[in-house]
């Protein structure tokens, strides 16, 4: 036991780097805007959100051994803001979704969904979700910047000039993982927010140190039913497909030696909210977009997410809801750039829609299904619609091939587990289209695996 603890401590010390800290901030572009908006209206408890979000950052980091993100359930958040749901109704929606996902995980039913879902449909969901995040970076953040191009009322700390500058910086340092780009952007934005808070003429209260703790929130039966029908049902397919199935597919690409399964992720998502949602915490889930963003900005181990979790919990206990006064001044131009690149990294995963051994006809078919799934997801802003559309297209193409007597290569699941030993380093690709940066050492856990049954190649 002592040897195990010492080896873990050595592992944590070795990976406690600026790159990991930067990667831990890769998903704040998704978290901060929604968390601030719901906290300002009193629809969630910021104290509980920080404490339970941080707690599950730590738990999932220790459990999965990778930078597994903890991000808000976006559909519930969006509907809650639009429909002005009460805190009890939001908690009811989160409890409903988590209960269903937990049941799918415990009974291993989620494994059947993954087993019979073609990888092209999963890639389409990843592409559609990634492009949706990129679009949201504009519509929800960048386009809401006041007086963006100068003139009366121009804000020195939040404008299009900063967005363009950070956009160029991220691309100029795209392959320099050792430079903590996300940390530089976040720390600069936080410094700007502090300056604006203490120089602003408005009477916004500054963060006040103290001891804050969560309060119990139990939704009434009416709140539970209304929250379930209004927001929970719309969130369920997003959580099942993007936060479980598409996420595990991405884990298989980025960390091929990791043994994370759909069952364990579904169970974790369920337990996450069956604790936090009884204390007013924002409903949380995992997500392929968050993992992609954290990986993009340098996270390669669980150390990044454990560090983030500790910071969240300390902020929640020490500053609690008073920290909202600072967060609401965080520049939208900074958050928009970070969210855009999180979506970009996720959408790029769709390029692995075919295996090297596939025929051209199979590649064409898979690409068609990717476009159908992703396009319908973006059109209806619903993962469930994208999933059903992709499955229907796949079934129709299979039936048409059978009717014409044409061979139809079955497309397996995108995350079917181990399938042999890695090929030699000659098969590794480390170019602009690879997750392995050209300037970094190719580590065993990030190697691309050779062609094998039901395995997508990240190259």
Question: Got the DSSP string for 240-278?
Answer: HIIIIIHHHHHHHHH-TT----HHHHHHHHHHHHHHHTT
Do residues 124 and 373 touch, judged by C-beta distance below 8 A?
Answer: yes
332-348 vs 160-172: helix crossing angle, rounded to 10: 40
The count of C-alpha atoms lying within 13 angstroms of the C-alpha of 23, restricted to the half-sphere facing its C-beta, is 28
Q: Which residue has the higher pLDDT, 79 or 368?
A: 368
Q: Where are the alpha helices (DSSP H) in 16-86?
A: 18-24, 28-40, 46-64, 74-83
Number of CB atoms found within 10 A of residue 288's CB: 27
Per-position b or e across 79-117, b if 16+ CB within 10 A of its CB: bbeeeebbbbbbbbbbbbbbebbbebbeeeebbebbeeb
Question: Which residues, listed in sequence order, are joined to residue 284 by a DSSP beta bridge?
Answer: 72
Query: What DSSP character marks residue 20?
Result: H
pLDDT above 90: percentage of residues in the chain:
51
C-alpha to C-alpha distance for 436 and 425, rounded to whole angstroms: 13
Residues contacting residue 196 through CB under 8 Å, at least 6 positions apart? 157, 329
* Poorest-pLDDT segment among 230-234, 326-330, 436-440: 436-440
Question: Which residues, listed in sequence order, are joined to residue 415 by a DSSP beta bridge?
Answer: 455
Do residues 95 and 219 touch, judged by C-beta distance below 8 A?
Answer: yes
Q: Terminus-to-terminus CA distance in the chain, angstroms?
A: 39
For 157-199, the pLDDT digits (tens) are: 999 999 999 999 999 998 887 788 989 999 999 999 999 999 9
- In this prediction, residues 232-245 reach a mean pLDDT of 86
Please give the pLDDT value at position 346: 81
C-alpha to C-alpha distance for 13 and 329, rounded to whole angstroms: 34
Please give the pLDDT value at position 265: 95
Please give the pLDDT value at position 420: 34
Please give the pLDDT value at position 437: 36
- In this prediction, residues 339-347 reach a mean pLDDT of 87
Please give the pLDDT value at position 14: 92
The SS3 call for residue 205 is coil
Query: What DSSP character marks residue 3?
Result: H
Residue 129 exposed, middle or buried by CB count within 10 Å (0-12, 13-18, 19+)? buried
Please give the pLDDT value at position 1: 66
- In this prediction, residues 430-443 reach a mean pLDDT of 36
| Residue from 252, 276, 323, 295 nearest 72 by CA | 276
C-alpha to C-alpha distance for 54 and 308, rounded to whole angstroms: 7
Distances from the Cα of 224 to the Cαs of 88, 280, 379, 419, 440, in angstroms? 7, 13, 29, 44, 49
pTM of the model: 0.79
Highest mean pLDDT among 312-316, 322-326, 360-364, 385-389: 312-316
List the structure tokens of 384. Answer: 């469930």
| Residue from 122, 78, 42 nearest 324 by CA | 42
Q: Which residue has the higher pLDDT, 276 or 357?
A: 276
For 349-395, the pLDDT digits (tens) are: 788 888 888 888 889 999 999 999 999 989 988 778 888 999 999 99
If residue 285 lies in a helix (H) or strand (E), which one and from where to where?
A: strand 284-285
Distances from the Cα of 385 to the Cαs of 84, 388, 389, 391, in angstroms? 25, 5, 6, 10
Do residues 306 and 355 touch, judged by C-beta distance below 8 A?
Answer: no
């Amino acid at each position: 036991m002592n040897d195990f603890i010492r080896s873990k401590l050595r592992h944590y010390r070795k990976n406690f780097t600026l790159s990991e800290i930067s990667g831990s901030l890769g998903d704040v572009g998704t978290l901060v805007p929604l968390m601030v908006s719901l906290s300002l209206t009193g629809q969630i408890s910021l104290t509980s959100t920080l404490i339970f979000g941080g707690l599950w950052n730590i738990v999932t980091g220790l459990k999965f051994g990778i930078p597994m993100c903890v991000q808000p359930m976006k559909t519930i958040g969006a509907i809650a803001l639009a429909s002005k749901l009460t805190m009890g109704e939001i908690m009811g929606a989160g409890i409903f979704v988590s209960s269903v996902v937990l049941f799918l995980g415990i009974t291993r039913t989620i494994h059947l969904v993954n087993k019979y879902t073609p990888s092209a449909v999963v890639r389409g969901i990843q592409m559609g979700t990634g492009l949706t995040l990129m679009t949201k970076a504009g519509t929800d953040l960048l386009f809401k910047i006041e007086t963006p191009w100068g003139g009366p009322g121009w804000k020195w700390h939040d404008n299009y000039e900063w967005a363009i500058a950070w956009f160029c910086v991220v691309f100029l340092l795209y392959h320099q993982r050792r430079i903590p780009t996300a940390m530089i952007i976040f720390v600069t934005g936080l410094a700007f927010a502090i300056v604006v808070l203490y120089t602003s003429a408005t009477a916004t209260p500054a963060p006040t140190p103290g001891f804050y703790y969560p309060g119990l929130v139990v939704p009434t039966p009416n709140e539970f039913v209304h929250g379930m029908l209004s927001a929970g049902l719309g969130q369920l397919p997003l959580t099942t497909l993007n936060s479980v199935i598409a996420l595990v597919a991405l884990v298989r690409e980025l960390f091929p030696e990791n043994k994370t399964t759909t069952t364990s992720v579904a169970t974790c998502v369920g337990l996450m909210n069956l604790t936090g949602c009884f204390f007013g915490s924002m409903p949380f889930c995992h997500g392929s977009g968050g993992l992609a963003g954290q990986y993009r900005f340098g996270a390669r181990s669980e150390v990044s997410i454990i560090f983030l979790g500790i910071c969240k919990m300390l902020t929640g206990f020490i500053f609690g809801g008073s920290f909202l006064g600072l967060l609401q001044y965080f520049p939208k131009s900074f958050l928009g750039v970070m969210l855009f690149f999180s979506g970009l990294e996720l959408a790029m995963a769709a390029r692995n829609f075919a295996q090297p051994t596939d025929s051209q006809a199979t590649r064409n078919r898979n690409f068609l299904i990717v476009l159908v799934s992703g396009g319908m997801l973006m059109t209806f802003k619903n993962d469930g619609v994208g999933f059903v559309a992709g499955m229907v297209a796949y079934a129709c193409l299979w039936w048409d091939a059978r009717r014409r007597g044409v061979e139809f290569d079955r497309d397996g699941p995108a995350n079917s587990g181990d399938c042999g030993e890695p090929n030699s380093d000659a098969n590794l690709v480390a170019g602009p289209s690879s997750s392995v940066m050209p300037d970094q050492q190719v580590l065993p856990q990030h190697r691309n695996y050779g062609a094998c049954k039901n395995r997508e190649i990240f190259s």
